[in-house]
Amino acid sequence: MTPEHIATGAVWYIVFLLSLTCHEASHALAAKWGGDPTAFHRGQVTLNPIPHMRREPFGTIIVPLISYALGGWMIGWGSAPYDPAWQFRHPRRAAWMALAGPLANLALLLLAAMGIHAGIITGILAAPESAGFSHVVAARSPGPNEALALFLSVLFSLNLLLAAFNLLPVPPLDGNTAAGLLLSEDNARRFAALSHNRTYAFIGLLLCWMLFDRIFGPIFTFGLNMLYPGMGYR
């Protein structure tokens, strides 16, 4: 493992922790606003990553580092506790709680896009001829600008992925509970109950794992062309 690989991994991990922390803290805050203080009392309404890492050390430390060492990119997970009885009483509030996480990722994606365009306007960054997950924007000169380009690229791509993945309406993902906003309260309760069924949750994750790569490709291309209108990325 070269020093460059380690430095790139450090940027990846910073972005990963920032994205995950904002996602889980948004869940926790929305639940508190909706009347469930479970995550708040456990210290998760915070942008400090430490409480989130303590709750899910395997998903926030071990898996991301191993996945980067083996594949050059990071995967992982976190969680924010909530009261299932509160979800049953208030399925629409629970739906907003579920939606809050992906919305936080979309907000980070927009911040990344703003940073990318600010860098292009100031002349330190440029749209690449060929874009990729870690190469959404290019530095015009070597040095610190390369680290900035990598940071903004990963921030854009990772949060697009997290938002798209978590919005899939299958258990146990956020989209399964958030779909309750489109249903009656009784049907929302039934739909959300799927998330608590381990068999359905396992099947849902398996399907997402098998199909998401095909789904995300067009989403990523669409995101690039929204970021750079007229570039015609494919």
Q: Is the peptide bond before 3 cis (omega within 30 degrees of 0)?
A: no
Q: Is residue 13 part of a domain?
A: yes
| 214: β partners | none
Catalytic one among 4, 24, 56, 185? 24
Query: What pLDDT is recorded for position 169?
Result: 85
Percent of the chain predicted with pLDDT > 90: 68
Query: What pLDDT is recorded for position 33?
Result: 97
Q: Is residue 232 part of a domain?
A: no
| 132: β partners | 135
- Total domain count for the chain? 1
Q: Is residue 233 part of a domain?
A: no
Catalytic residue flag (residue 24)? yes
Which tens digits make up the pLDDT trace of 167-218? 988 888 898 888 888 888 888 887 777 777 677 666 777 777 778 888 999 9
Q: Is residue 234 part of a domain?
A: no
- pTM higher than 0.75: yes
Side-chain half-sphere CA neighbours of 112 within 13 A: 30
Q: Is the peptide bond before 172 cis (omega within 30 degrees of 0)?
A: yes
Question: Is residue 95 a contact partner of residue 177, using CB atoms and an 8 Å limit?
Answer: yes
Q: What range defines the domain where residue 220 resides?
A: 3-227
